[in-house]
Amino acid sequence: MSSNNKKRVFSGVQPTGSLHLGNYLGAIKNFVNLQNDFDCLYCIVDLHAITVWQNPVNLRANILDVASAYLACGIDPKKSIIFVQSSVPHHVELSWIFNCISRIGWLNRMTQFKEKAGKNKEKVSAGLYIYPNLMAADILLYLADLVPVGDDQKQHLELTRDIAQKFNNDYSEFGGKDFFPIPEPLILDESSRVMSLRDGTKKMSKSETSSMTRIELKDENDLIIKKISKAKTDAFPIPESIDELGNRPEVKNLLNIFSSLSEVPVLNILNNYAGKQFSDFKKDLSDLLIARLEPIRNELIRIEGDNVYLRDVLEDGAIRANEKSERNIKEMLAEDVANINK
């Protein structure tokens, strides 16, 4: 809980490439909605990005791209703290402490590591294996109460909760009892999970070779129309019920995108389009995407041309984040008490 009695929210986005519709609907759109009711910290998690090799020049550019997207989508730096993870050294300090709290068995159960490492587990970086501990440090460093998560991130938040509980228990007799709040998930609506335009079983991703699998925030209107017109569907008409979407992942994905952008339930959308072919639906979806994304794209272009403003926002965010983290880490390490006793 923050000093203004608002619950505190922490979340972040990796700077690993051009941001796309999945980043917007799955994260940033929700960040914007939360900032009026909560004390929000929104991080650009560059330390997570380097668990796999990154070109340093590209990484620096990607950091500014994420900051631009935060601002262009509507995150207000006066209401929320926007900062780069590596500009606050206490993230690394606390993550090492959590390396010593977390258990190997807990990390072995992390399914995302298994997916990312694939068959090359012996060759991936140790950072990829222990990065859930850094994620826990990101959240708990600011004593966050709430974390926006999708289905694929619930396991990492559970680990964060386990680490917080173990720390509190291990150090309860030394003043650590209930030091860390046990963060609760803010579960995102299923429609906010955006899948590939070419394969409805895979998340929309920056890492896919073909840009036709995703709508990027910088895509021009004609390119949005082209990508949606070529988005994979199937030979059957649009169904009448949600139950009929079970084995039609690409159709479900496009309907979820429409629902999330329009804030209209999927069932209502089905009522409007049931029995129709996809040509009319795809035209309307393209129009909706353009209406929502064109203002963001224009603002992105404007902000990206003002590096002084971008750096000012990030520097101010770093100062505010460091103030909060410094206070919490000192209390955790009981440095204030040690100084009094000197």
Q: How many CA atoms lie within 13 A of 253 on its CB side?
A: 27
Active site residue 206: yes
> Residues near 195 by Cβ (< 8 Å), separated by ≥ 6?
22, 201, 202, 203, 204, 249, 250, 253, 256
Active site residue 203: yes
The active-site residue out of 6, 7, 114, 116 is 116
Q: Tokens in use for 166?
A: 């173990």
**Is-contact 183 153, C-beta < 8 A?**
no
Q: Tokens in use for 46?
A: 């560059």
Pick from 71, 115, 36: which is nearest to 313 by CA? Answer: 71
As to burial, measured by CB atoms within 10 angstroms (0-12 exposed, 13-18 middle, 19+ buried), residue 284 is middle
Whole-angstrom distance, CA of residue 229 vs CA of residue 223: 10
Whole-angstrom distance, CA of residue 337 vs CA of residue 201: 53
Q: Tokens in use for 37?
A: 């009711």
Pick from 52, 31, 40, 32: which is nearest to 6 by CA? Answer: 40
**Is-contact 91 137, C-beta < 8 A?**
yes
The active-site residue out of 6, 166, 203, 330 is 203
**Is-contact 45 127, C-beta < 8 A?**
no
Q: Are strands 80-84 and 39-44 parallel, antiparallel or unpaired?
A: parallel
Strand order in the sheet with 39-44: 80-84, 39-44, 8-13, 146-149, 184-187
What are the C-alpha distances in Å from 311 to residues 42, 58, 77, 83?
15, 17, 12, 10
Active site residue 29: no
The active-site residue out of 6, 206, 226, 330 is 206
Active site residues: 116, 203, 206
